Amino acid sequence: MGNTKPQGWYISQIFNAKTIRLTTPFIAIAGLWASILPSTAVTDAYYNNDYRACAGQLLRVGVTPQAAAQDCATALRPRDLSACVASIRQGTKIEPIDALASCSRARRPKELASCVVGVSQNTKEEVNAAVLTYCGRSLLPVTFAQCVVGLRREITLTPIQALDTCIDASERANGIATSPVLQLPIK
C-alpha cells in the first residue's frame, strides 16, 4: 500500500534504462567518427577552397608562385581575381603579371577583364598597356568599354582618342571634376 506509483511507470523506467544502455555505444562511436572526419569549413577540394582555386588558376596562366600567393591571400574574392587574370590572358596579349596588378586593384575584377578584352579586341591589340590602365581607372568598366567600342565603330578615332574621350566623359558624368575648382571669395 505504501507504493502509489502505477505499474506502467515501472515498465517505462525499465525501457528507458535499456534504451540508454543500448544507444550509448552507438552515439559514442558516431561522435568519434564525426571528430575524425574533415570539417566542412576547411577542405582541400577546389570547389570549396577559393584560395586554392585562385592560386591554381594563376599558376596555370604563368603567374609566379610568390605573386599568386600574395595576391590570392589578400583578395576579397580570390576566384574573381584569378578569373580576371585568366580572361585577360586568354583574350589579349597582355602579360599575366601586368593583368594581376590591375585585377588586384579593381573593385570588380570580372568587369575589368570584360573591359580590357572587349576594348583590346576592338583596337586590334594596339594599346595593351593603355587599355589596362584606362579600364582600371573607370568606375564602370563595362560601360567604358561600350563607349570606346561604340565610338570607334561609328567615328574614325585612334584607340587613344577613343580611350581619352570616354574616360573624360565618364569622369564628368560621375562628378569628378577635371577642370580647376571655382573658388568663392571668403567674407
Range of the domain at 73: 50-173
Each residue's pLDDT tens digit, 95-115: 999 999 999 999 999 999 999
Q: Which of 65-79, 112-126, 163-177 has the lowest mean pLDDT?
A: 163-177
Each residue's pLDDT tens digit, 17-29: 666 666 667 677 7
Residue 171: pLDDT above 80? no
Rounded to whole angstroms, the Cα distance separating 124 from 117 reads: 10
Contact call for residues 95 and 126 (beta carbons, < 8 A) = no
Q: Is residue 183 part of a domain?
A: no
Ordered alpha helix ranges (H), the chain: 7-36, 50-60, 65-74, 78-91, 96-105, 109-122, 128-137, 141-154, 159-173
pTM of the shown model? 0.66
Q: Is residue 26 part of a domain?
A: no
Q: Is residue 123 part of a domain?
A: yes
Q: Is residue 3 part of a domain?
A: no
Rounded to whole angstroms, the Cα distance separating 78 from 62 reads: 17
Q: Is residue 43 part of a domain?
A: no
Q: Is residue 8 part of a domain?
A: no
Number of domains in the chain: 1
Grid coordinates standing for 148? 570606346
